[in-house]
Structure formats: structure tokens, C-alpha cells
Amino acid sequence: MTATIIPDLPVFVVIAPLFVAFVLPTFARRMRLVEALVILVGILGFLGALYLASLVFAQKGSPLIYSLGGWQAPWGIELKAGNLGALFLLVVTGVSLPVSLFAKGNLAQEVGGKERSARFYVLYLLLGGALAGMAVTNDLFNVFVLVEVVTLSCCGLVSARNHPRAAEAAFKYLIMATLGSTLVMGGIGFIYMITGHLNMEFAARELASIWQHSPHVVWMALSFILVGFGVKAAVFPLHVWLPDAHSTAPSPASAILSGLAVKGYLICLLKFLYNVFGSALMQEFAVDRILVLAGAVAIIAGSILALSQDELKRRLAYSTVAQVGYIVLGLGLLNKQGLAGTLFYLASHAVIKSTLFLAAGAIIAATGKKKVSELSGIGRKMPLTMAAFTIGSFGLIGLPLFSGFVGKWYLLLGSIETGKLLPTVVVIAGSILCATYLLPVIRRAYFEPAPDTTNADWQDPQDPGFSQKLALILLAAIVVLLGVVPGPLLELAKRAAVELLLLQ
């Protein structure tokens, strides 16, 4: 049986959530069954991703390749689960499962009613399946299709909250995302026009031999891809849709949007840059310098904007803009240490930001208070929730023994290896700025007295229910575990970096 499953595993982890999303509306009135199916898909997806990663490890990085319909590349669509694919699949499934647990029994309060909750779960599974597809696809047009599925799912998740602000945020997201999609499609069109291929490997081979004959077309393709995915991933100053979308969405949606959706776009950008154009062309067209500069600006600007926000979820949303800057900066370092740090930090940030948004959602649901200035003493009222928020904050700042430290450390090593001062200084400065907008939340929660509970404006808050507690504990534990024992995931990131840089 195992021999039968292994060849189909790359497509199974993509198809399973999409299939369940298709049949889920049938059970819309049986919410417990819907929630059980979503959690079951999450468990199976994580186990499948874990097994796939173990196979990639055992084969020393040799990818598992699946040709859809039996058509071999370049004629057919190819799924390729190598080091990078296994890493991102672990991230997607490892974060999706706790978020599913958090949503159990609590989602109706945020979106209203069983039918709206069922629609939310359909979009949630479509998003998860499309992100899994992004991890393993090796086809340019397939990337575009998956990007569109993710975009439309995200818009639906943002608008799931029954509030005028949610509709406005979703519409703004849709307009900006459509612009990004148009540019991405244009970039793919330019690549196909000069190479005649949509398979990434075949397009890369052709591009390496003929780019000198059409340098302007290559530059246009690179420009369209960079700006298109820059809009999608909210790279500063193309981030204008993100603060409203992530702060307005229901808490599980905020966690998945910030933790995974943005990372999916960045993985696609990475595949275009390294798998199609390659590091040599990136240097030829100065893309590496553009990425380092854009990342540095995003880190500083996003952190400064986060400092000025009193609304908790909005502060976290602007923090995402800053943290995306670390990943973009790392993509431009073009060395093993920097790229390994980028991939590890991508995984770390996905877990950390999901933890922070879920904890923030639990606090807002329990207290009715959305502003940081109104959360005095909440740490004593909701100890487990605030402990998870604190662990996530320490990880995002990059303190030792937490996962963010490992990623930032390797980013620093990669920056030093380039011999450039700017990325080194910005990585350190970004951590300091991160502390300035997260530590005040912790200080107010633990060291300021709570308001009088007899005050009509203040509810007596408590930690959320069992499944929500379990989700927060799992995510916080992963943040600590990756900080203390980063070995397996870090090794996968290093192998992926070597593979992308063609150093093996």
C-alpha cells in the first residue's frame, strides 16, 4: 500500500483539501461534522507533508516528481516535491491544523451562523490546497492559476466578517490583487514568448542560452514579476491593502492570511527568481540589489508604521509588512547562509504571526477591547492567551531560544558574507524596532492594573475554550521548539538553499 501511495503523495496533499472543499457545502447544517472534516484534512495533510519531507531527507534531496495525466514535461503539468516544496508543505499544514482547531466552535461568533461558517471553511480549504500546490508546482501557468485561487479565497475570507469595514477591505484587496495578477500574467507571457516553455526547468535552460538576444524582454519579465508579486505579498510601498484586510478579517482568517497566504506569494516569487531566471541573471539585472534595498525599506517603514498603531490587530498587520521585508532582503543576498535564513525565517514567521493573531483574536473576543491602550492587566485575566502572545512576540523580536532568532542569525551571517553594511544594520535595527512596538503590549498586559470589573465597559475576560487553548499551546510550543531544536527544519532550509543556488 505504501508503494502505491508514495508516487501520488505530491498530488494527494493538494487534492485532498480541494476535494473536501467541494463536498463540504453538502453538510453545511451539520457544523460538528464540517469542523471534524476540516480538522481531519488538516491532520492527514500534516502527516502527508511530514512523510514527504522524510522521503526527501532519505533520498538526500532527490525530488518526488508527479506528472499530471501521465504527460511528461514539458508537455504536461509537473509537480515536484524537493527540499523547498517539502519545507513549505510542512509550514502550510503545520500552521493550518492549529488554526482549524482554534476556529472549532468559535467561528460562528465572528462570521455569524452555520451557513456562513460552512462557506468560510470552504474558502479556507481552497486556500490550503492552493498553497500546497504552490509548494510543489513546477509549471509557470499553474503558478498563476494557484495564485488566483489563493487571491479569491483570501478576498472571501476577509469579507466573511459581517461588517461594512470587511466588505471595504475585501474590495480594496481585490482591486490591488487584480493589478498584481495582471502583472504576474504579463511576466509569464514574456517568459513564454522568448522561451516557448511553461515548465520552469525547460524555461530556465532556454532562458540561460538566449537571454542576450532579448535583454529588454527579460528585464520586462523580471519587472512585471517583481512588482506583481510585490503587490500580492504587500512589499512596501505596495502594501496598502494589507492593514485593512488583516485587521478586519475574522481571527482564523487573519492568522492564515498573514501566516501563510503572504508566504505563498513569496515562495512563488522565489521560484521565479531562482528556478527560472537564476542567480546569474539576477546579478546581471541588479535584481539582488533591488531586493536588498526594498527589503531594508520595508523593515524600517513597516516597523515605524506599526509603532503608531493603537489597534492591536492593525499593529500586527503593519508588523507583517516589516517582517516581509526580512524575507525579501534575504532573497537578494544570493548566498547559502542568507537564503537558508530566509527560508527558516519564512517558516518561523508563519508560526509566530499565526500565534499572535489568534491570541489577539481571543483577547478581543473576551474583552471587546481592540486597542492596546485598553488592555491593562489582561495578562492576569487571560494568562494562557497572553503567555502565547508573549512567546510569539519574543520570537518575532528574535530573542535567543525562540525560532525568530535562528532565522535572523542566519540572515545576519548571510549579510556579513556579502560584505555590505546596509543589510546587517537593518536586520539588527528591525529587531530593535520590533521590540519597541511589541514589548509595550506585554508591559501593559502584565504590569498595569486591570480596570474595575464592575465597570459596564469592561467584561470580565477569561481564556478561551479547550480547542482554542490547544491551538495556542501548539503554536507557542512550535515557536520554542524551533528555537531550541532547529536542526531538522534548518537542515531542510540549507539543502533548499544549496539546491536553489546550484551549489550541489
Any idea where the domains of the chain sit in the sequence? 292-504
Amino acid 339: pLDDT: 92
Amino acid 455: pLDDT: 54
CB 46 within 8 A of CB 93: yes
Neighbours of 148 (CB within 10 A): 16
CB 323 within 8 A of CB 356: no
Q: What angle (nearest 5°) sits at the alpha carbon of residue 263, between those of residues 313 and 62?
A: 155
What is the C-alpha to C-alpha distance for residues 340 and 264, in angstroms, rounded to an integer? 17
pTM confidence score: 0.91
pLDDT (tens place) for every residue of the chain, 504 residues total: 455 566 677 788 888 888 888 888 888 778 788 888 888 988 998 998 888 888 888 877 678 787 777 777 777 788 888 888 889 999 999 999 999 888 886 777 777 777 778 888 888 999 999 999 998 888 898 899 999 999 999 888 888 877 778 888 888 888 888 999 999 999 999 998 888 888 888 888 888 888 888 888 889 999 999 999 999 988 888 888 888 888 888 888 888 888 888 999 999 999 999 989 988 888 888 888 999 999 999 999 999 998 988 888 889 989 999 999 999 999 989 888 999 999 999 999 999 999 999 998 888 888 878 888 888 888 888 889 899 999 999 999 989 999 889 999 999 999 998 888 888 999 999 999 999 999 998 998 888 777 665 554 555 777 778 888 899 999 999 999 999 998 888 988 999 898 888 743
Neighbours of 339 (CB within 10 A): 28
Amino acid 419: pLDDT: 83
Q: Give the total residue count for the chain.
A: 504
Amino acid 322: pLDDT: 92
- Backbone φ, ψ for residue 452 (5° rounding): -65, 120
Q: Which amino acid makes up residue 70?
A: G
CB 222 within 8 A of CB 187: yes
